[in-house]
Structure 1
Amino acid sequence: MDTKALKSTFDRDGFVYLPGFLSAAQVTEVSERLKRFIAERSASLPPEHIKFEVKGDGTTLKMLQDLHVYDPFFADVLFNSTFSKLAEDLLEEEVIGKTVEYFNKPPKVGKATPPHQDGYYFMLKPMSAVTMWMALEDVDAENGWVSYVKGSHKLGMRHHAFTNTLGFSQGIPDFGIPADTEKEVFFKTKPGDLLVHHALTIHRASPNTSEERTRKALGLIYFGASAAEDVAAKEAYVKALNQTGP
């Protein structure tokens, strides 16, 4: 990778797209590890680390959080990998790996991810952080592709409000103004493709409207070493994140 070019694109747009970041073999290994983890460990996870799109329906698994805490394989992915090196290159400082997450949008019932900025949840000063999203299968408009508002990371924090969406409790209520839609970029991705965005970049994901396709992905979050976390604000974020709503 041309690190200088990547950094330039990241600073300009607030995100970078890296097709084929992991090989097919590496994606298979990650997917198999996830499959094994779900089968063997998910039932024992605390409720704040596992979420289902439809409450009580085990076939609608939506999210697993903090995988690195429970499995050394995912700890290595977070702390000792090309992902952490990329985060350092983009933030131009040492980074602290915060979490590895599994995301899925089950067919027909996978809800949209509301437009938001991760930094609203992170509560950092300075706002030195990146989120990574890696496709584990083909993703397009039908099953929940991701989009970013180009350059939105330069405009500061937008107002957020409660969304009633499990796992994404806060969103931008006035999203959809021309400044958003005219600069929004959607990504059709294949397994192993990686998207990385700044903590202030506005992004969202479509619902899964397909009849039988899932939409599985891996997420990683890194904070820059210079970023100081507001502990009280973060506790409030965690509480809001884990609200199930009606």
Structure 2
Amino acid sequence: METGNAQDLKEAFRRDGYVFLPGFLSPAEVGELNEQVNNFISGAVPAMPKELVFYEDKNDPATLKQLIDMQKFNAYFDVMLNNSKFKQIAEFLLDDVAIPKTLEYFNKPPKIGKPTPPHQDNYYFMLKPTEAVTMWLALEDVDAENGCVRYVTGSHRHGIRPHGRTQTLGFSQGITDFWNEDDQAKAVAFPAKPGDLLIHHSMTIHWAEANRTENRTRKAIGLIYWAESAKEDAEAKAAYQKKLHAETL
């Protein structure tokens, strides 16, 4: 990465709350990654704990929508999360040592892939300071029809918005006062090609629409890194868990 371009990238991340890196992986790298994902789904998923595997329809394996902590079950994904250019760019953007947290798989099956509700990751992470990044890597063509990622530009600079319970499996909390005039004015969508990478700050508002297509999936890999200086707020986490418990009574 050239020095000038690198500085521009960091400034854009701090200003907008996200950066878009087209072609972060080459076609050959994407091909290898897709092969590894397919092998993982057929080989490792049947033995994974059920709380790490989500389906749109539990009775239909073809509706697999999310896998969590893939790095714990496969050496390829362990290296991808812990010793790769993904971690390097996380440390560059965070200006800190990056602590790898998880590598996930996401899909929105055709016709039934539900929307991802608007949310801020730090509502779940509960970090002080709120320094963490989430990466989203397209494994195939993604556009408005099958659910591309969307952001509210600059939203990472305005604190945590109120969140409430949603009906979306894997994304239990969503922003309750979303789509005000500021959200509408600053919303941006990111159609992506295989190998394109999006990186956003843990406070950036983001969401994705449903997959409305008849026969196209929407597959992607997610990676999460916390800055070493970011510590979990134990008091906030306890309050959150109490709130979740009350909601399920």
- Tell me the TM-score range normalised by the shorter chain: over 0.9
What is residue 168 of structure 2 aligned with on the other side? 165
For residue 171 of structure 2, give the secondary structure of its aligned residue in structure 1: coil
Cα displacement string for residues 131-152 of structure 1 (whole angstroms, at most 9, x for unaligned residues): 0000000000110111000000
Q: Does 1:188 align with 2:200?
A: no
What is residue 104 of structure 1 aligned with on the other side? 107
Report the CA distance shift for 1:108/1:238 in structure 2 as closer, same or farther (over 3 A): farther
2: CA distance between counterparts of 1:68 and 1:29? 16
What is residue 41 of structure 1 aligned with on the other side? 44
2: CA distance between counterparts of 1:230 and 1:124? 6
Q: Does 1:84 align with 2:87?
A: yes
- CA drift of 1:55 comes to 2.5
- CA drift of 1:99 comes to 0.3
Q: Does 1:223 align with 2:209?
A: no
Q: Does 1:18 align with 2:28?
A: no
Report the CA distance shift for 1:77/1:222 in structure 2 as closer, same or farther (over 3 A): same
Cα displacement string for residues 42-98 of structure 1 (whole angstroms, at most 9, x for unaligned residues): 111111110001222111000000001111110100011110000001000111000
What is residue 69 of structure 2 aligned with on the other side? 66
1: CA distance between counterparts of 2:101 and 2:43? 24
2: CA distance between counterparts of 1:136 and 1:14? 23
- CA drift of 1:153 comes to 0.3
What is residue 97 of structure 2 aligned with on the other side? 94
2: CA distance between counterparts of 1:155 and 1:111? 28
Whether the 8 Å contact between 1:169 and 1:240 is mirrored in structure 2 is no
Q: What's the Cα RMSD here?
A: 1.8
Report the CA distance shift for 1:145/1:42 in structure 2 as closer, same or farther (over 3 A): same
2: CA distance between counterparts of 1:239 and 1:184? 33
1: CA distance between counterparts of 2:35 and 2:236? 36
Any residues of structure 2 matched to 1:206-217 within 5 Å, and which? 206-217=209-220
What is residue 135 of structure 1 aligned with on the other side? 138
Report the CA distance shift for 1:156/1:39 in structure 2 as closer, same or farther (over 3 A): same
Amino acid at match of 1:175: F
Structure 1 residues not aligned, in runs of 5+: none
- CA drift of 1:124 comes to 0.6
For residue 103 of structure 2, give the secondary structure of its aligned residue in structure 1: strand
Amino acid at match of 1:73: Y
2: CA distance between counterparts of 1:11 and 1:93? 14
Amino acid at match of 1:53: E
- CA drift of 1:231 comes to 4.9
Whether the 8 Å contact between 1:152 and 1:200 is mirrored in structure 2 is yes
What is residue 28 of structure 1 aligned with on the other side? 31
1: CA distance between counterparts of 2:77 and 2:241? 22
2: CA distance between counterparts of 1:240 and 1:110? 28
Q: Does 1:7 align with 2:10?
A: yes
TM-score (norm 1): 0.94
Which of these residues, 175, 184, 202, is aligned with residue 178 of structure 2? 175
